[in-house]
């Protein structure tokens, strides 16, 4: 018999997380899996007291990860349907899921229970190094702690993210030496991120950028991405990145920087 219990200490499921990432067909989006997932509620699956799987549900009622070990006796499709039908008193109602097309097992289970789906984001990866694509005409500078407030204000003004969240997020990037800026004089025109992975996907660098609204359409995004790609390659890392499916401008810049569209992040809705 399988029991479902809340997980408070994520170290408990670290070996299962390792297996989860190992079965993906391509690197998974860093912001989703190392930014949003740790903030979600985690639930462990237990058979005779042994932890054999887990899932996590965000505050909006969407599943972000699902894994059941091949050593479990429980049928994963039956378990997944029980959860998505809202029949777990521990988990409660689940509206839907976010899943990458690189997470084939999880995606298949989602599709079995889907009432509708939309493409939320596009996932890119550098498939091969091409020096012609990584030449850049801008130079980014590593951001210091005393520049934190400037970057928080910049991001809040240009993408509308909450300042409290940005402060913690950018503080961490600065401490890890993963946040960069492009200035003209004292004016900040773009912020670039080259996020490294501490575990699971250590051969990749997850790129991100924000360009000031007043400077968009001038090719700055492409040049910033090219600089970030070059920086990653110099450390023998493969760049990956993602963008919203509606952000055509970013998609063009990513392609010009030499990255290839490989996977999608899909938003699934379940029948309740």
Q: How many CB atoms lie within 10 A of CB 217?
A: 10
Average pLDDT rounded to a whole number, residues 196-216? 94
Provide the pLDDT for residue 112: 93
What dotted CATH number matches 124-261?
Answer: 3.40.630.30
pLDDT of residue 48: 94
Kindly give, in sequence order, each residue whose CB lies less than 8 Å from that of residue 23, ignoring residues fewer than 6 positions away: 103, 104, 105
120 close to 138: Cβ distance less than 8 angstroms: no
Average predicted confidence (pLDDT) for the chain: 94
The number of residues making up the chain comes to 272
Q: Between 76-84 and 104-112, two packed helices, what is the crossing angle to 10 degrees? A: 60
Predicted confidence band at 132 (pLDDT cuts at 50, 70, 90)? low
Cα(117)–Cα(264) distance, integer angstroms:
12
Structure tokens at 55: 């899932």
43-82 confidence digits (pLDDT tens): 999 999 999 999 999 999 999 999 999 999 999 999 999 9
Residue ranges of the chain that CATH labels 3.40.630.30: 124-261
Q: Which of 217, 31, 22 is nearest to 123 (CA)?
A: 31
Q: Tell me the CATH class for 2-112.
A: alpha beta
pLDDT category of residue 271 using cuts at 50, 70 and 90: confident
The 10 Å CB-count burial string (b at 16+, else e) for 164-191 is eebeebbeebbeeebbbbbeeeeebbbb
Rounded alpha-carbon distances, angstroms, from residue 67 to 44, 75, 195:
10, 12, 25
Copy the structure tokens of residue 170: 């950018």
Residue 14 DSSP class: H
* CA atoms within 13 A of residue 129's CA, in its CB half-sphere: 11
Within the chain, all domains assigned CATH 3.40.630.80 are found at 2-112
Q: Which residue has the higher pLDDT, 132 or 63?
A: 63
Contact 57, 64 (CB under 8 A): yes
Instruction: Say whether pLDDT at 270 is over 70.
Output: yes
Distance CA 34, CA 71 (A): 26
């Amino acid at each position: 018999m399988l029991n479902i219990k809340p997980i408070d200490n994520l170290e408990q499921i670290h070996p299962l997380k390792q297996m989860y990432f190992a079965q993906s067909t391509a690197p998974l989006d860093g912001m989703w899996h190392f930014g949003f997932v740790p903030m979600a509620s985690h639930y462990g699956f237990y058979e005779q007291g042994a932890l054999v799987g887990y899932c996590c549900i965000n505050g909006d009622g969407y599943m972000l990860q699902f894994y059941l070990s091949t050593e479990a006796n429980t049928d994963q499709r039956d378990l997944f349907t029980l959860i998505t039908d809202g029949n777990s008193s521990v988990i409660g109602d689940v509206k839907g899921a976010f899943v990458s097309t690189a997470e084939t097992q999880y995606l298949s289970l989602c599709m079995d229970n889907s009432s509708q789906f939309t493409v939320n984001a596009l996932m890119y990866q550098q498939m091969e190094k091409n020096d012609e694509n990584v030449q850049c005409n801008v130079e980014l500078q590593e951001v210091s702690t005393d520049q934190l407030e400037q970057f928080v204000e910049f991001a809040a003004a240009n993408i509308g993210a909450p300042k409290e969240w940005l402060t913690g997020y950018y503080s961490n990037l600065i401490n890890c030496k993963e946040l960069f800026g492009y200035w003209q004089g004292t004016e900040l025109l773009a912020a670039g991120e080259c996020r490294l992975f501490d575990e699971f996907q250590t051969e990749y660098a997850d790129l991100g950028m924000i360009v000031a609204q007043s400077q968009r359409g001038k090719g700055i995004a492409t040049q910033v991405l090219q600089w970030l790609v070059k920086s990653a390659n110099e450390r023998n890392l493969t760049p990956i990145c993602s963008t919203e499916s509606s952000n055509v401008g970013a998609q063009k810049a990513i392609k010009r920087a030499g990255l290839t569209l490989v996977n999608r992040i899909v938003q699934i809705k379940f029948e309740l």
